């Protein structure tokens, strides 16, 4: 016998609002309590009023959609999707604002499956599937139209009255705490992720695209008279690496053992453009800078790769991280297939070693011409950090061999993450060695920069994607390393002592990347800003 039960529409609305308030909004209350715990004096009545405020607001909202024929599909979707948002907030401290919706929409299948673990499945069944099942079995009773409207109006009016009473007594408290902690509203389910999703769909599918704008039409190769060889620049785009876990930047562990003899220059104070790949990568290769970055404009105008390619320099993108977020759309691109028949690939991911043969091929095809090659690593992409390095590179143990990283010990989690940093260091040493082989033919250099950082449980946060305004330094402080061959230094007249001094002390950001790439490749163009090129002040005669 199938389970079915009768429920008046107003009771259905009330029960659903109670469930969303007490269960699915727990992450919101947890974060609110953290904020309130830092305030010396908080009214007890104000604290008690918060869940009632959420409840009354949800009753009003849900009442608008408790309509015959459409209420079940809407609330089943909201319940199931809110369950996933609830888990992300509860477990990782993630909020689904516009940036996270954007990042999620650009996630490939392998990356999405990396988040799958027993904790997620159990949570999804208990908080999503089961409540959705009860919604399907509920026989919602709707009264005749006039009575239904009157009944619904009464419920909404009582809820509105409750909100007004709360506002009467505690408006100043809500205004003060809300104004100073705007991030809290991003945790409210389902209003935040639904409104963010609407904005994303509207902007990306229902907005007239901008007219495409070409930049740097005057770009040209402008090497100094002292430069006698063609030049090869390798830009290594890191993934999810945070600067504080680099030995170069004062970290206590030796996470950079492979490049120690290569005299890399570490820029110790670099801030990211975003906290997720979908924002940081297009932003860092654009000419807008973080303060002026606009996704729609970035999609519809040239970036630094287009400008460099236009100058006549061979430009190529080689990807091992599932895509370039539109940056490489107009330059030759090679995407490493996870299905490649190689011990370095398992069908879902490939270790970054797989990219080295493609680098060798690209250099062989350079044919003595100036060349820029971008290598996009999978780097330290979580939560399955343990799948980013081979067993032979388990430098720090015990490590966390699972995706539900919140269930690992702090030691295991940090060990696993540090192994990814050390493996990336190994990759950089291999790349430098490849470039050294070609120094008789080319002036070579390598620049490494990560797209964003990562949280490893600090303050209850994991992974990345926290809104930039409230993001911790773990997610915004990124590593940047530079290697210059002796030929490059000599022929381009670079003062490395000056460069190291600046790298040690200057506060820079990913806004510098595009202009520094122009500087490294010696491309002259009107869009170039020397003040945003970390080489410009350290060239002889500059």
Q: Are 378 and 239 in contact (CB under 8 A)?
A: yes
109 pLDDT more than 80: no
What mean pLDDT comes out for the span 345-364? Answer: 95
- According to the model, what pLDDT value does residue 338 have? 92
Determine the Cα–Cα distance for residues 119 and 340; give it in Å rounded to an integer: 31
Q: Give the Cβ contact number of residue 288 at 10 Å.
A: 17
Contact 443, 452 (CB under 8 A): no
Average per-residue pLDDT for the chain: 93
Once rounded to an integer, what is the mean pLDDT over residues 76-95?
93
pLDDT of residue 99: 82
Res. 108 pLDDT band, cuts 50 70 90 = confident
pLDDT at 2 (0 to 100): 61
- Look at residue 213 and give its three-state secondary structure: strand
- The full DSSP string for 347-395 is SS-B-GGGGHHHHHHHHHTTTTS-EEEEEE--TT-SS-GGGGS-GGG--
Mean pLDDT, rounded, for 212-224: 90
> For the segment 118-135, what is each residue's pLDDT rounded down to a tens digit?
999 999 999 999 999 999
- Report d(CA 533, CA 272) in Å as an integer: 16
Total residues belonging to the chain: 542
Residues 283, 287, 290, 293, CA torsion sign: negative
Per-residue pLDDT band for 377 (boundaries 50, 70, 90) equals very high
Through-space distance between the first and last CA atoms of the chain, rounded to whole angstroms: 85
Residues 457-465, mean pLDDT to the nearest whole number: 91
Strands 265-266 and 270-271: unpaired
What is the pLDDT, as a whole number, of residue 542? 60
Tokens of 304: 């630094």
Q: Which of 21-30, 219-228, 313-322, 485-494 has the lowest mean pLDDT?
A: 219-228
Q: Which of 100-104, 282-286, 451-455 has the lowest mean pLDDT?
A: 100-104
Q: Report the distance separating Cα 133 and Cα 152, nearest Å.
A: 24
The predicted structure's pLDDT at residue 15: 96
The residue with greater pLDDT, 179 or 525, is 525
- 35, with CB counted inside 10 A (0-12, 13-18, 19+), is middle
Is the pLDDT at 479 greater than 80, yes or no? Answer: yes
Q: Distance (Å, rounded) from C-alpha 33 to C-alpha 93?
A: 14
How far is CA 241 from each of CA 154, 245, 256, 509, rounded to the nearest angstrom?
54, 8, 13, 15
Report how far apart, in Å, the C-alpha atoms of 335 and of each of 316, 323, 354 are.
11, 7, 11
pLDDT at 1 over 50: no
Q: At what angle do helices 130-137 and 71-92 cross, to 10 degrees?
A: 170
Bridge-partner residues for 139, per DSSP?
A: 6
Three-class secondary structure of residue 316 per DSSP: strand
**Over 80: is that where the pLDDT of 180 sits?**
no
Q: Six-digit token pair at 497?
A: 């002592």
**CA dist., res. 314 & res. 497, Å (int):** 30
pLDDT surpassing 80 at residue 541: no
> Where does residue 36 rank: exposed (0-12), middle (13-18), buried (19+ CB within 10 A)?
middle
pLDDT at position 209, please? 78
Least confident of 215-219, 354-358, 419-423, 459-463: 459-463
Confidence band of 103 (pLDDT split at 50, 70, 90):
confident
pLDDT of residue 225: 66
Q: What is the mean pLDDT of residues 215-225?
A: 87
pLDDT tens for each residue of 316-344: 999 999 899 999 999 999 999 999 999 99
Sequential DSSP letters for 480-491: EEEEE-HHHHHH
Name the band, by pLDDT with cuts 50, 70 and 90, for residue 521: very high
For a pLDDT cut of 70, what percent of the chain falls above it? 99
Say yes or no to pLDDT of 434 above 60: yes
Percent of the chain scored above 90 by pLDDT? 80
| DSSP codes joined into one string, 95-110 | --SHHHHHHHHT--HH
At residue 298, the pLDDT reads: 93
Identify the pLDDT of residue 354.
97
Residue 93 has pLDDT above 90, yes or no: no
Residues 257 and 422: beta-carbon distance below 8 Å: yes
Contact 449, 284 (CB under 8 A): yes
Contact 229, 465 (CB under 8 A): no
Q: What is the pTM of this model?
A: 0.84
């Amino acid at each position: 016998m199938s389970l079915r039960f009768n429920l008046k529409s107003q009771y259905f609305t009330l029960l659903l609002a109670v469930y969303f308030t007490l269960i699915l909004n727990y992450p919101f209350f947890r974060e609110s309590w953290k904020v309130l715990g830092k305030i010396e004096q908080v009214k007890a009545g104000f604290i008690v009023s918060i869940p009632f405020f959420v409840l009354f607001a949800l009753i009003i909202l849900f009442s608008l959609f408790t309509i015959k024929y459409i209420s079940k599909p809407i609330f089943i979707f909201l319940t199931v999707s809110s369950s996933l948002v609830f888990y992300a907030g509860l477990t990782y401290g993630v909020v689904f604002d516009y940036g996270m919706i954007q990042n999620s929409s650009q996630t490939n299948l392998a990356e999405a499956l990396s988040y799958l673990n027993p904790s997620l499945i159990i949570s999804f069944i208990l908080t999503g599937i089961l409540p959705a099942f009860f919604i399907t079995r509920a026989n919602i009773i709707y009264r005749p139209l006039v009575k239904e409207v009157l009944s619904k109006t009464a419920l909404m009016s009582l809820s509105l009255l409750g909100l007004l009473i709360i506002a009467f007594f505690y408006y100043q408290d809500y205004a003060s705490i809300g104004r100073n902690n705007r991030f809290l509203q991003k945790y409210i389910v389902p209003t935040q992720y639904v409104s963010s999703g609407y904005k994303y769909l509207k902007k990306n599918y229902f907005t007239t695209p901008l007219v495409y704008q070409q930049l740097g039409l005057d770009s040209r190769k402008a090497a100094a008279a002292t430069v006698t060889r063609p030049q090869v620049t390798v830009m290594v785009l890191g993934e999810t690496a945070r600067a504080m876990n680099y030995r170069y930047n004062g970290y206590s562990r030796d996470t950079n053992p492979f490049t120690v003899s290569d005299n890399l220059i570490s820029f110790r104070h670099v801030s990211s453009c975003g906290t997720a790949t979908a924002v940081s990568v297009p932003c860092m290769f654009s000419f807008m800078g973080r303060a002026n970055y606009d996704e729609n404009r970035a999609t519809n105008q040239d970036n630094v790769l287009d400008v460099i390619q236009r100058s006549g320099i061979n430009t190529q993108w080689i990807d091992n991280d599932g895509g370039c977020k539109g940056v490489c759309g107009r330059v030759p691109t090679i995407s490493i297939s996870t299905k490649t028949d190689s011990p370095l690939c398992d069908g879902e991911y490939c270790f970054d070693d797989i990219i080295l043969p493609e680098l060798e091929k690209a250099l062989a095809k350079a044919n003595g011409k100036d060349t820029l090659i971008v290598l996009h690593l999978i780097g330290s992409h979580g939560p399955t950090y343990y799948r980013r390095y081979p067993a032979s590179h388990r430098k720090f143990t015990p490590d966390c061999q699972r995706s539900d990283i919140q269930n690992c010990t702090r030691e295991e989690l940090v060990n696993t993450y540090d192994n990814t940093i050390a493996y990336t260091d190994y990759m950089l040493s291999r790349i430098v060695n490849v470039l050294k082989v070609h120094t008789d033919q080319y002036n070579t250099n390598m620049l490494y920069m990560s797209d964003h950082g990562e949280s490893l449980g600090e303050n209850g946060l994991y992974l990345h994607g926290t809104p930039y305004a409230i993001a911790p330094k773990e997610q915004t402080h990124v590593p940047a390393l530079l290697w210059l061959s002796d030929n490059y230094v000599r022929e381009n007249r670079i003062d490395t002592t000056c460069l190291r001094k600046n790298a040690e002390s200057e506060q820079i950001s990913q806004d510098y990347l595009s202009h520094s790439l122009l500087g490294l490749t010696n491309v002259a163009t009107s869009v170039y800003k020397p003040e945003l090129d970390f080489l410009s002040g350290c060239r002889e005669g500059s």
